Chains A and B, each alone.
Chain A
Amino acid sequence: MSRAVEDRNRHMLRVRDAMDRDYAKPLDIPTLARIGYVSEAHFIRTFRATFGETPHRYLQRRRVERAMFLLRETDRSVSEICLDVGFTSLGTFSRTFTEVVGEPPTTYRWRAADLRAVPACFAKAWTRPSSFGEARGLSVD
């Protein structure tokens, strides 16, 4: 591997760190490509070759993970949380959330709140994934 590949990896890592840090801001391709010292035309392909997924997908996963936290731990509305984590359209947020998590934000919140209502030791015991397949745990992670 040449020094060029190492530099490229390092630049893509810098882009990923920026997404982790600034997920709530509007991050567009020109902005990210600039951080990564790569042309807009090559950016998506380069990022994907480095980390195995598109920058768009990585950013979606980061934003959804933050949304899960806010749904669990705050009383903010789904529309507010949508904006809090950097989505601009409620429709896109709900669709993306459902795709990544497997259930819509409101359902996720309901299940997570349900879980909080019981003492932690019970939640811990009863949400543990079953080894026998007879019960689906209420996973909040």
Chain B
Amino acid sequence: MLTNITHSQVYVLDQDEALDFYVGKLGLEVNTDADLGFMRWLTVNVPGHPEHQLLLEKPGPPAHDDATAEQVRELVTKGAMGMAGIFTVDDIHKTYEELVAKGVEFTEEPTERFYGTDCGLRDPFGNALRIGQPKEGPIEVPDSSQAGEWS
């Protein structure tokens, strides 16, 4: 039986720039930053939660041929690589204000939804992220006719 998710991965175009953002702005901490020779193994985690690491991986040779690496970079910058992660906070409005002050690019302001209040942002490369404050108590899922409310 699987017991946990320990790592997830996001493609970044520059690992130093990724550190500036994920650690310097979002406030994650470096878990591992190791030069393995063939790659720089760079992971971050939410402070106090090393059990789930986010691998900040740079596409390129020899893992990818040049043309493939270019395609990956193109998809990242078009925002087509999907959601890099969803984070939770205790006070979404406070966090939002702090991150706006740091120049973080938000795609959506904190918005109240049936599951809580959340907002959308992008990392410097184009990857989507969300930050939310889950609702306390039981969550009532609206029927499917209200799906449009989510977007």
Listed in ascending order, the chain A residues whose CB lies under 8 Å from chain B are 1, 5-7, 9-10, 12-14, 16-17, 20-21, 50-51, 65-66, 68-69, 72-73, 112, 115-116, 120, 123-124, 140-141
Query: Is B57's beta carbon under 8 Å from chain A?
Result: no
| B96, chain A: closest CB distance, angstroms | 14
17 contacts between A and B (CB under 8 A): A6-B74, A9-B74, A10-B77, A10-B125, A13-B79, A13-B122, A13-B126, A14-B105, A16-B79, A17-B122, A21-B108, A65-B148, A68-B148, A69-B151, A73-B146, A73-B149, A140-B145
Which residue of the partner chain, among A6, A65, A73, A120, contacts B73 with CB atoms under 8 Å? A6
When C-beta atoms are compared, the residue in chain A nearest to B75 turns out to be A9
Interface pair B78/A20, CB less than 8 Å apart: no
Query: Which residues on the B side are within 8 Å of A9 (C-beta)?
Result: 74, 77-78, 126
| A104, chain B: closest CB distance, angstroms | 19
Listed in ascending order, the chain B residues whose CB lies under 8 Å from chain A are 13, 70, 73-74, 77-79, 105, 107-108, 122, 125-126, 143-149, 151
Which residue of the partner chain, among B108, B122, B148, B151, contacts A73 with CB atoms under 8 Å? B148
Q: Which of A7, A13, A72, A73 has the most chain B CB atoms closer than 10 A to its own CB?
A: A13
When C-beta atoms are compared, the residue in chain B nearest to A121 turns out to be B143
Which residue of the partner chain, among B73, B107, B122, B148, contacts A72 with CB atoms under 8 Å? B148
When C-beta atoms are compared, the residue in chain B nearest to A50 turns out to be B78
When C-beta atoms are compared, the residue in chain A nearest to B146 turns out to be A73
Secondary structure type dominating chain A contacts: helix
Per the bound structure, the CA–CA distance linking A9 and B2 in Å amounts to: 38
Query: Which residues on the A side are within 8 Å of B145 (C-beta)?
Result: 72-73, 112, 115-116, 120, 123, 140
Assuming the contacts A1-B73, A21-B107, A21-B108, asked whether A6 and B13 have C-beta atoms less than 8 A apart, the reply is: yes
| A63, chain B: closest CB distance, angstroms | 13
| A64, chain B: closest CB distance, angstroms | 11
Interface pair A20/B74, CB less than 8 Å apart: no
Interface pair A69/B148, CB less than 8 Å apart: yes
17 new A-B contacts, CB < 8 A, other than A1-B74, A10-B125, A21-B108, are A1-B73, A6-B13, A6-B73, A7-B77, A9-B74, A9-B77, A9-B126, A10-B126, A13-B77, A13-B78, A14-B105, A17-B107, A68-B148, A73-B148, A116-B145, A123-B145, A141-B147
